[in-house]
Amino acid sequence: MILTVTPNPAVDHTLQLESDLVSDTVARTDTTRLDPGGKGINVSEFLVELDVETVATGFVGGFLGQFLREELTMREITNDFIEISGHTRLNTTILAPQSEYKINQNGPTIADSSTNRLIETIKRHDPEIVVIAGSLPSGINPRTIDQIAEAGTWETVVDVAGDVLRDLQAEYALCKPNRVELGAATGGTVDSLDDAISAARKLRKHGFKHVVASLGKNGAIMATPDAVLHIPALDVDVIDTVGAGDALLSGVLTERQQGGSSEAALRTGVAVASRVISVSGTSVPPLDDLTTTAEEMPITAY
Ligand SMILES: O=P(O)(O)OC[C@@]1(O)O[C@H](CO)[C@@H](O)[C@@H]1O
């Protein structure tokens, strides 16, 4: 079973506008949606659609926390959150014809006692893989992530900010930075595929057995103990990119869980991400009949 930890969950509010935002002018819309969000929670939602057993946990509080729990339960996503006294945040995405805006709140502060309860909750579910994903709210730091990784025999996968990746010290099965995070984690900028490949190799040496990096229009790479695999992005109509990285990770984990090769994992990841960017917000599209053949998705090994 794959357990996801979202230290800083969110309710995602997505608003679609018919014209671009103009300052000092009221924008109006009827097209809005509210979804449970936060990177680990999205991974659990995609895993359920991919028929993989998962439990979502993390810290929630207040009326948005209540909404998040109820909505996940309604969507049949098994969840076991730690209730905190602060409030779960509301993150906003504005989709205008020419632009995509994303505003994320910082979120509540987490007490040490809640962190201890989180570790107890993870142990109780006895997962094979623990995925820790998203920003760290105040009270949670890289040492907390290391503590979770070292608290059991599970494999730990992280999708956290570049500076957090840099400070982690435990052993990790996989990390999933994006292009910017890859640069921040390795102390440089990543402008080209070559930069991304050497940064991913560096990160492997830092204690991440596999590195899966989403590179936007340049597709994705996966650094393994044997090679760095690159796959170009699929040609799809993009509605918005929110959740694309979570989708990539879900596809990769699904294939790994089923014993697939690294090539198959990367192909499934890119196929799931391509589906997700063609729907609005963090809604979950059907994930059957994914395009994953070698002809349609060529891989180059470096
Ligand atoms: O502020 P964080 O934790 O870095 O990211 C949170 C978030 O932007 O990530 C998800 C998309 O990946 C959204 O569901 C959510 O709003």
Q: Each residue of 238-259: pLDDT tens digit?
A: 877 888 999 999 999 999 999 9
Instruction: Using the atom order of ligand 1, give the atom closest to the CA of residue 242.
Output: 11
Q: Is 246 a catalytic residue?
A: yes
C-alpha to C-alpha distance for 179 and 181, rounded to whole angstroms: 6
Which pLDDT does position 279 carry in this prediction?
Answer: 82
Judged against a pLDDT cut of 90, whether residue 237 lies above it is answered with: no
Residues 6 or more apart from 19 whose CB is under 8 A from it? 27, 96, 97
For ligand 1, mutation pick of 46, 104, 138 (most atoms within 8 Å of CB): 104
Cβ(38) to ligand 1 under 6 A?
A: yes
Instruction: Using the atom order of ligand 1, give the atom closest to the CA of residue 42.
Output: 14
Two tokens, residue 205:
């040496």
| Nearest Cα residue to 122 out of 133, 130, 114, 112 | 130
Cβ(19)–Cβ(26) under 8 Å? no
Model's pTM, two decimal places? 0.95
Judged against a pLDDT cut of 90, whether residue 36 lies above it is answered with: yes
Judged against a pLDDT cut of 80, whether residue 280 lies above it is answered with: no
- CA–centroid distance, 161 to ligand 1, in Å, is 11
**Residue type at position 249:** L
pLDDT, tens only, 118-146: 999 999 999 999 999 999 999 999 999 99
C-alpha to C-alpha distance for 12 and 23, rounded to whole angstroms: 23
Judged against a pLDDT cut of 90, whether residue 235 lies above it is answered with: no
Query: Which member of 194, 246, 288, 289 is catalytic?
Result: 246
Report, in this order, helix, strand and coil percent for the chain, each rounded to 5: 35, 25, 40
